[in-house]
Amino acid sequence: MFDGFELTRREGDGARLRVRHGGAGPPVLLLHGHPRTHVTWHRVAPLLVAAGHTVVCPDLRGYGESEKPPTDERHRPYSKRAMAADCVAVMRRLGHERFAVVGHDRGAYVATRLALDHPRSVVALSVLDAVPIGEALRRCDAEFAARWWHWFFLGQTAKPAERVINADPDAWYKGSAEGMGAEAFEDYRRAIHDPATVHAMCEDYRAGLGVDREHDDADHERGRRIGCPVQVLWATRDDLADLYGDVPGVWRPWVDGPLEGGPVESGHHMAEEAPGPLAEALLSFWRRA
């Protein structure tokens, strides 16, 4: 995997991250989702490098082999604001002041927060299988709660989810070497079998229901918007379109600049299932942006 890439540890803004980077050209930051690590991008990153980009893939704070800071009563160390600050710090340490950002799943919330909090750093934003956290929770209904119940199970603390997950992580997460590739599967499996990582991933969801929503709602009330071009992609075999219908329409109140989007023929983990079409969609967007 990642032939020609360098694997390093870099200081973020309060957490040291495991980072894979390589290539030459305009920089791109790729942010994974739950419960993956940066290795989820192993089929996409080489395609972007071959097309003339520098690619940086970190494990988000708490995930994979990145540092897992102690939490607090409001779960602020696992807020998307904290994770986004890590990413900006890492990119600057690698010499990249301005860059495109791609985020999938939980990484999409980090990417969105990065574009809102650090607008001078982000030249283009691509979000995969996500709408803003505040938007999702404002629109939450019985259908959302039934389909995305894990948000509330992982996010509550009265009966912590860690005990259930750690009893059998393989059964809970259901990844496979056939779908992910053997090396990627082993990296993922090391992560999900680490109780500290499982706890940190739950903290991500706890922050999502509290402080992250507060940050999104505050921006929404102030009319704070994303100024760079935004691309929204969703998997045809996932449920984002079922839940929201006009997915780009959900994003429109959050975006001042150009906004475009469309489906990718794939299941939820499109970087693993449809790397070619995903890479082409990203490259086409960046050429226009």
Structure tokens at 36: 């993956």
Which among 125, 128, 127 is positioned nearest to 28, based on CA atoms? 125
Q: What is the pLDDT of residues 223-234, one digit of tens each?
A: 999 999 999 999
53 has catalytic annotation = no
pLDDT of residue 6: 98
Which is the catalytic residue, given 105, 212, 219, 238? 105
- Which one-letter amino acid corresponds to residue 229? P
Q: What is the pLDDT of residues 111-153, one digit of tens each?
A: 999 999 999 999 999 999 999 999 999 999 999 999 999 999 9
Q: What is the pLDDT of residues 23-46, one digit of tens each?
A: 999 999 999 999 999 999 999 999
Q: What is the pLDDT of residues 170-202, one digit of tens each?
A: 999 999 999 999 999 999 999 999 999 999 999
Averaged pLDDT, 60-73:
98
pLDDT of residue 126: 98
Beta sheet of 54-58, edge-to-edge order = 6-11, 16-23, 54-58, 27-31, 99-104, 122-128, 230-235, 259-264
Taking the C-alpha atoms of residue 38 and residue 40, their distance in angstroms, rounded to an integer, is 5
Which is the catalytic residue, given 34, 118, 220, 268? 268
Structure tokens at 148: 């995305």
Averaged pLDDT, 58-62:
98
Averaged pLDDT, 75-88:
98
Which among 75, 86, 83 is positioned nearest to 205, based on CA atoms? 75
CA 188, 190, 192: angle at the middle one, nearest 5?
70
Asked if the model's pLDDT at residue 289 lies above 90, the reply is no
Burial class (CB in 10 A: 0-12, 13-18, 19+), 224: middle
User: What does pTM read for this prediction?
Assistant: 0.98
CA 79, 83, 85: angle at the middle one, nearest 5?
115
Averaged pLDDT, 210-219:
97
168 has catalytic annotation = no
Residue 93 parent element (H or E): helix 80-93
Task: Give the distance, in angstroms, between the CA of residue 129 and the centroid of all CA atoms in the same chain.
Answer: 10
Instruction: State the alpha helices, DSSP H only, in 123-194.
Output: 133-138, 142-147, 149-155, 162-167, 169-173, 177-180, 182-192
Residues paired with 56 in a beta bridge: 21, 29
